[in-house]
């Protein structure tokens, strides 16, 4: 859709790993950056001033929108009880009470209540919350395909279409990562809730995915939920589907030690090796979490330039562990960031957690610079979502911008030349003042222009799902 060209004047802008003062950014009628002019000391007539540090729009490379309904609820003390009922990984290891596996049972209960209409309302509010946090593009790892019990909707992609419509309504770019999810664990059929995730087999998944036509600027990609959720002999079907369309491919990888142990038992190799053996690693692939890897796994991922999406706030919330982000980066894997379960939605928090978690593990500082972390939150994230021209402030790139205040109680006193460091290591989503998507001012002075009362929208959508 063509837009009226708009010009923005950034008090400071992060361009090519450098903070530059007084930058004029002009968008064209297609929502792309036409010109970038540093050194314009005052906003010219008609230009919209953006006070603070303006970044390329942030990219949230891994989202499960419906998990937002668990915020707070999942933080309550876990009840004592039996281990989860899933085959395979559920019974592995010691007592799983209060672990990822018990959290997942609560998540399944929410998933079972969703309809296309209620999912649209929730996702619209969640994506609006993301826009308020400076996020301009999101990758939705989508496996809620069918009605409870596995009944097919008249439109087999009704749930995916609801997500696409929600993103449009909230003014953010969506990459719909349509996810193949066929089993409860290695060799186990889907459980009662998981039947709504499953298409039966990978070929049926591909036929349904072929019919996706969300329109607008939505990018359609593919995902395998995990190697425990898709039989090994069907993995290549999903990878081939993505490869044939030049689409991004994502997969949860080694989030839990139990998954690794069960994969070794059933296949005699790690999940990473299994993916490699089926041709699923490479620059178009993003492995999410990658928390529990062997040295050989890291070499496989890095040597194939497979991307890694770290989700630190979820990984710590679920007690998953700290992933080897530094080793993966050094091996050749680009790192992106996601808010995953939405314990919080704050890409600045995700970014600094990559460095701060590494400090806790090693007892040393200085593994990542602020500029490297901003690259993960912008350019690498957009690339992981099939948007390789995003994540930069340069002519020809999408005019997607996020402005973070430098005068809040967290960032006040910042020296302009150290604005990136201040924003990454002290700023939060609450400091985002402006978000521009495709040249369109979606968040202005901290207020969403399309969803005027985001907290109320979130409350209503979450309350509708409470049992």
Which runs of consecutive H residues, i.e. helices, occur in 366-453?
A: 370-377, 379-384, 419-426
- Measured from the Cβ of residue 243, the count of other Cβ atoms closer than 10 Å reads 17
128: left (phi over 0), alpha (psi -120 to 50) or beta: alpha
Beta strands at 18-27 and 33-38: parallel, antiparallel or unpaired:
antiparallel
CB 113 within 8 Å of CB 136: no
Distance, CA of 71 to CA of 124 (rounded, Å):
16
Please name the helix (run of DSSP H) or strand (run of DSSP E) that holds residue 270, with its range, or none: none
The pair of structure tokens assigned to 90 is 């559920």
Residues 6+ apart with CB under 8 A from 430: 408
Q: Any idea which residue has 């749930």 for tokens?
A: 159
Q: How far is CA 107 from CA 74, 127, 144, 210, 463, in A?
A: 9, 19, 12, 28, 15
Backbone angles phi, psi at 411, to 5 degrees: -110, -5
Assess contact for 187 and 89: CB atoms under 8 A.
Answer: no
Q: Could you say which DSSP state residue 194 is in? A: G
- Residue 7 in tokens: 């010009």
> What does the alpha-carbon distance between residue 122 and residue 245 come to, in Å, rounded to a whole number?
30
Look-up of token digits 């591909």: 206
Question: Which residues are catalytic, by number?
Answer: 289, 340
Strand order in the sheet with 18-27: 33-38, 18-27, 7-15, 48-56, 401-404, 432-437, 440-444, 447-448
Residue 417's contacts (CB-CB under 8 Å, 6 or more residues apart) are 19
């Amino acid at each position: 859709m063509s837009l009226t060209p708009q010009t923005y004047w950034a008090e400071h802008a992060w361009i090519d790993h450098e903070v530059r003062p007084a930058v004029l950014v002009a968008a064209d009628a297609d929502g792309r950056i036409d010109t970038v002019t540093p050194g314009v000391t005052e906003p010219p007539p008609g230009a919209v001033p953006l006070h603070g540090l303006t970044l390329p729009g942030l990219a949230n490379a891994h989202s499960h929108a419906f998990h937002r309904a668990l915020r707070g609820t999942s933080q309550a003390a876990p009840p004592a009880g039996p281990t989860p009922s899933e085959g395979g990984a559920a019974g592995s290891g010691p007592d799983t009470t209060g672990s990822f596996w018990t959290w997942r049972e609560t998540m399944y209960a929410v998933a079972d209540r969703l309809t296309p209409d209620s999912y649209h309302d929730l996702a619209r509010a969640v994506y609006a919350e993301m826009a308020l946090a400076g996020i301009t593009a999101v990758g939705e790892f989508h496996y809620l395909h069918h009605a409870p019990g596995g009944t097919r909707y008249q439109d087999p992609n009704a749930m995916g279409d609801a997500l696409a419509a929600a993103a449009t309504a909230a003014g953010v770019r969506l990459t719909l990562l349509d996810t193949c999810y066929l089993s409860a664990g290695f060799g186990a059929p889907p459980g009662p809730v998981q039947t709504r995730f499953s298409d039966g087999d990978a070929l049926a998944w591909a036929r349904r995915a072929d019919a996706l036509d969300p329109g607008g600027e939505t990018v359609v990609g593919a995902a395998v939920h995990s190697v425990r959720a898709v039989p090994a002999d069907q993995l290549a079907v999903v990878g081939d589907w993505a490869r044939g369309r030049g689409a991004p491919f994502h997969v949860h990888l080694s989030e839990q030690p139990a998954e690794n142990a069960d994969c070794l038992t059933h296949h005699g190799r790690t999940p990473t090796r299994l993916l490699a053996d089926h041709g699923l690693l490479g620059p178009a692939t993003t492995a999410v979490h990658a928390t529990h890897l062997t040295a050989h796994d890291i070499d496989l991922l890095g040597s194939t330039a497979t991307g890694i999406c770290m989700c630190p706030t979820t990984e710590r919330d679920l007690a998953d562990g700290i992933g080897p982000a530094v080793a993966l980066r050094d091996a050749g894997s680009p790192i992106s960031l996601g808010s995953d379960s939405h314990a919080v939605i704050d890409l600045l928090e995700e970014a600094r957690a990559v460095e701060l978690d590494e400090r806790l593990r090693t007892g040393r500082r200085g593994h990542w610079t602020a500029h490297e972390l901003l690259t993960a939150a912008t350019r690498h994230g957009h690339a992981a979502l099939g948007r390789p021209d995003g994540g930069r402030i340069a002519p020809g790139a999408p005019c997607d911008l996020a402005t973070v205040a430098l005068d809040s109680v967290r960032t006040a006193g910042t020296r302009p030349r150290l604005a990136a460091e201040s924003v990454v290591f002290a700023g939060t989503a609450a400091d985002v003042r402006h978000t521009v998507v495709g040249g369109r001012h979606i968040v202005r002075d901290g207020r969403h222009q399309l969803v005027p009362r985001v907290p109320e929208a979130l409350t209503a959508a979450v309350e509708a799902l409470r049992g």
